[in-house]
């Protein structure tokens, strides 16, 4: 896997992935940025959520669960000292579907946490406390 990050100006950088996708990262004005994109540490948190969500959805589809929506709400804490590494990340999955089996959702979240999500497992190995929770919501077609 390869990527390139190029300085644009101030605290703004443009990252390009090996697959050809670009993203702007920027800092707040007080750090020389213009707030034109997420912070690099936010990108790390988003990537972790994306990795885990992919795993959960993939497993639920394989177990023939009818998922209508899936989101993971992430909350992280960072050290007060430099480097301001993540010390804790909480991941709460909200899975909406038709007749979802809670046991299947629980198992998918557990497998992502323990076996499949490279990002969260890597962060956990580096000393970050990563917790996972979930809720199952029955899809209501009337609610849209």
Q: For 7-39, write each residue's pLDDT tens digit.
A: 999 999 999 999 999 999 999 999 999 999 999
| Domains along the chain with CATH numbers | 1-37 (2.20.25.10), 40-143 (3.30.300.20)
Q: Rounded to two decimals, what is the model's pTM?
A: 0.93
Are the C-beta atoms of 40 and 57 separated by less than 8 Å?
no
The C-alpha torsion from 63 through 67 and 69 to 71, rounded to 10°, is: -20
Cα dihedral across residues 115, 116, 121, 122: positive or negative: positive
Sheet holding 3-9, edge to edge: 3-9, 12-17, 22-25
Tell me, what DSSP letter sits at residue 21? -
pLDDT band at 143 (very low <50, low <70, confident <90, very high): confident
């Amino acid at each position: 896997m390869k990527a390139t990050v190029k300085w644009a100006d101030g605290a703004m950088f443009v990252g390009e992935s090996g697959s050809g996708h670009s993203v702007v990262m920027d800092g707040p004005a007080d750090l020389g940025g213009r707030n034109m994109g997420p912070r690099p540490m936010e990108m790390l948190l988003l990537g972790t959520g994306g990795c885990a969500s992919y795993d959960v959805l993939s497993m639920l589809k394989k177990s023939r669960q009818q998922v209508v929506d899936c989101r993971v709400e992430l909350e992280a804490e960072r050290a007060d000292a430099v480097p301001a590494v993540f010390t804790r990340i909480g991941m709460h999955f909200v899975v909406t579907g038709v007749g979802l089996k809670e046991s299947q959702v629980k198992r998918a979240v557990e497998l992502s946490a323990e076996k499949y999500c490279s990002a969260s497992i890597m962060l956990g190995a580096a000393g970050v406390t990563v917790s996972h929770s979930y809720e199952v919501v029955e899809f209501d077609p009337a609610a849209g």
